A = this chain, B = another copy of it.
Amino acid sequence: MVFHALGDPMRFRIVEALRTGERAVNDLVDKVEIHQSGVSRHLRILQEAGLVQVRPEGQKRIYSLRPEPLRELNAWITSYRHFWEARLDRFAHALKQKQKRQLPDKKENSK
């Protein structure tokens, strides 16, 4: 749901625009060059994905980011970290071989 919401370029731009702080709808319209109705609909989708929240202020409606889904996204991507490191190892192997000579036998419990 979050990936889908961020998958649209316009919505991504809106999220990036909200990065620096809360914004009224028309402020966002000025940034992304689509019609106001489109921005409102994108905001709706972002809201349904939990990525933004609204706060009325007079006749304006102030949108801001909700950290929760971003935190979850971070958790998800973090769960792949071992995978990156495993990949890096391929290239880091030679380097480690070098290091072994510097630090002869440093707790080598991995196969």
Contact = CB atoms under 8 A, between A and B. Distances in A.
Interface in A1-26: 3-8, 12, 19
Interface stretch (A27-35, A54-62, A75-83): A75-83
B19 A80 contact: yes
Interface majority SS on A: helix, strand, loop or mixed?
helix
Interface of A: 3-8, 12, 19, 65, 67, 70-71, 73-74, 77-78, 80-81, 83-84, 87-88
A74 B78 contact: yes
Among the interface residues A3, A7, A67, which one has the most CB atoms of the partner chain B within 10 A? A3
Nearest to A71: B84
A45 to B, nearest CB: 11
Contacts of A6: 3, 7
